[in-house]
Amino acid sequence: MAGEVIPLANTTGRRNFLKRGAGAAAGLAMAPQAAAQQAAPQQAGSAEAAGPVKPGSDFMLDVLRSLDFEYCAANPGSSFRGLHESILNYGGNRSPELLTCLHEESSAAMAHGYAKIEGKPMMIMVHGTVGLQHASMAIYNAYCDRVPLFIIAGNILDVNYRRGNAEWVHSVQDCAAMVRDYVKWDDNPVSLTHFAESAVRAYKLSMTPPYEPVLLVADGALQEEPVTEKNLRVPKLAMAAPPQGDSAAVKEAARLLVAAENPVIVAGRVARSQRGIELLVELAELLQARVQDQRLRMNFPSAHPLSGDPGVLPMNPNVRDADVLLGLEAQDLWNLTHRMTPLNRFGMESQSVVQPGTKIITVSAIDLNHKSNYQDFGRYVEADLAITGDAEATLPALIEEVKRALTVDRRRALQERGKRLTAANEQARQRHRELAAVAWDASPISTARLSAEIWAQVKNEDWSLVSWDRMLSAWPTRLWSFSKHYQFIGTHGGSGMGYGLPAAVGAALANKKHGRLTINIQPDGDLCYAPGVLWTAAHHQIPLLNIMHNNRAYHEERMYIALLGAKYDRSPEKSDIGTALKGPNIDYASIAKGFGLYSEGPIENPNDLAPAIKRAVERVKKGEPVLLDVVTQPR
């Protein structure tokens, strides 16, 4: 299709019913000027006069289908009704298939989770001002998480096409303005040729590191008016190769790493694929260097002998003894190398935790697309060697330079270092296994037991954990064995609530065709933001195992309130006010059942947990979404 002239499609059957109604309603539903414009092509004897009318939205769909979108998630809105209708009737609801969502934020978060599994963007449509405002939090999450989204925002710019107050308040002069600071690129095409070029450009930019959302405005008149432009064609998509680091800088980085006595690699958003994981493993084994995975993606096998202590929080790896620190798409490297310490009861100061003389090397593409307003970039890092380039794309060159720099004697010394790291890491993992047994029989159920019981039921399956595990004290990271890129998709990016459940549904949709068992350990407060996506999972038959981490609170905020109270000698007893989700307790199993899912719970007896998980896994393997409500310890 790409690069070809698009002929008028034979759409007689699908639009006959519209023509029958249009004759009677034309004077009421359409301004005289618009009606004249619609009739003009036939009066002029154009090619369209001899055949059925083709709306602009059909050609728009031809362009979008050339970009190989599998799905389009949307909450229905009149500003993109032309595209909606074309997807169903002209496109046969295939490539993309329309996903019915109950909230625009869920549409965007579903696309976020899908992209982290599938490695390409999902298309979403949002309705004018209000739809884009609803979606904005989830778009910001994707921006901070460096994830590609392809957003179509409907809008009616011409006043002649706005019918009634709703279309006035839902229309806007500059539709993308409200999200422009946290999308990579946007455009408002004024012709079909313009739309075609901008759609292909947007996809290309979204998929050029750093990956981020893009937005196109689809004008209502452009969608619904008949095609009048001549020789329309779909531009060819020519993807850009990811940017690589400068060769001289890469060579210097290799020299520093080979000479180091204790190098540490900090992995942020490095691996976009299994190949990225394999490259990082190869580099670590060549250097016999510890890898501290920030778990913003699945970057490094968790059970690998060189994997850093999984019990260390992802934002605070132990880098104290490093003499060379290599940050690969690392997030907030300043906070990894510093800590805040109290000067007195009320004052704080920052102190470096790395030894004097430690060399810091960074490899990242984020400098290629910094924005100024939103502060997602963290403190400025005084790197000794800052390499601008995509880390995964730069790794092959870095590996080759390390190989060149290694001598026989140096390889022997590095092997000895590797043996020491392996022994230390095995001791750390053994400690975590022992710690998991603490409060094993407690009720509410400990997060360690919850994680262990899930692992016992899924470890022999082709599984994918699509939720962040920090709120579980990282117990899955500490107890499970992660090795494949789809087994962990990391965090939300912007810490915006309402991400977890819809992102899990989107990730499960991507996993569905591969037959993977998708697991979502779902925080309770987060689910309350977007419970309607449970219906989307049931309606579209998306198999997903949801297990509630129901600690009946916004617990992180409750901890902050208690901490501040203690700081000023005030009682922590009131910290539940405004943070606890009790009185009444929320019945998540009933909520899920109401949306059409099989559910069980609340499960409070730890001995009931394993049988319930086993039953749930069997249902998910048969193609169902399931929810288990498990009442848990806070963390």
Query: Would you tell me which CATH number, out of the four given (3.30.1130.10, 3.40.50.1220, 3.40.800.10, 3.30.565.10), belongs to the domain 247-425?
Result: 3.40.50.1220
Q: Which amino acid is at 271?
A: A
CATH of 437-550+586-630 among 3.40.50.300, 3.20.20.70, 3.40.50.970, 3.30.450.20: 3.40.50.970
* Helix and strand element counts for the chain (H, E): 22, 18
Secondary structure letter of residue 367 according to DSSP: G
d(CA 93, CA 31): 31
Residue 88 · residue 69 · CB < 8 Å: no
Q: Please spell the DSSP secondary structure of 122-185, one letter per residue.
A: PEEEEEHHHHHHHHHHHHHHHHHTT---EEEEEE--SGGG--HHHHHHT--SSGGGGGGGGSSE
pLDDT at site 563:
86
Contact 73, 113 (CB under 8 A): no
Type of residue numbered 83: L
Structure tokens that stand for 588 in this block: 């998540």
Q: Which two tokens stand for residue 466?
A: 């699509």
CB neighbours of 411 closer than 8 A, spacing ≥ 6? Answer: none
pLDDT at res. 320: 83
DSSP labels, 263-277: EEEEESS--SSHHHH
Topology alike, domains 12-224 and 437-550+586-630: yes
Instruction: State how far the Cα of 456 lies from the Cα of 617, in Å rounded to an integer.
Output: 11
Successive 10-residue mean pLDDT values, the chain, 635 residues? 41 40 38 38 40 91 98 97 98 98 98 98 97 97 98 95 92 96 98 98 98 98 96 96 97 98 96 97 98 95 91 59 96 83 66 90 93 88 96 98 97 94 91 95 97 98 96 94 97 94 98 98 96 98 98 90 87 90 96 98 98 98 98 95
Helix (H, G, I), strand (E, B) or coil at 71: strand
**E strand or H helix at 61:** helix 56-65
Which pTM value belongs to this model? 0.91
The whole-number pLDDT of residue 485 equals 97
**Distance, CA of 395 to CA of 276 (rounded, Å):** 8
Please state the domain extents for the chain: 12-224, 247-425, 437-550+586-630
Cis peptide before 76 (omega within 30 of 0): no
Rounded to 5°, angle at Cα 350 from 346 and 356? 150
Please name the residues in contact with 620: beta carbons below 8 A apart, sequence gap of 6 or more. Answer: 517, 518, 543, 544, 545, 626
CA–CA dist 77, 30 (Å, integer): 19
In sequence order, what DSSP letters do the residues of 311-345 get, joined into one string?
A: TS-TTS---TT-SEEEEES-S-HHHHHEEEEESSS
pLDDT reported for residue 348: 66
Q: What stretch of H or E contains 454?
A: helix 447-458
Residues with Cβ within 8 Å of 90's Cβ and at least 6 positions away in sequence, in order, are 9, 11, 14, 57, 58, 61
Can you give the pLDDT at residue 347?
A: 65
The structural architecture, per CATH, of the domain 12-224 is 3-Layer(aba) Sandwich (3.40)
Residue 237 burial by Cβ neighbours in a 10 Å radius (0-12, 13-18, 19+): middle
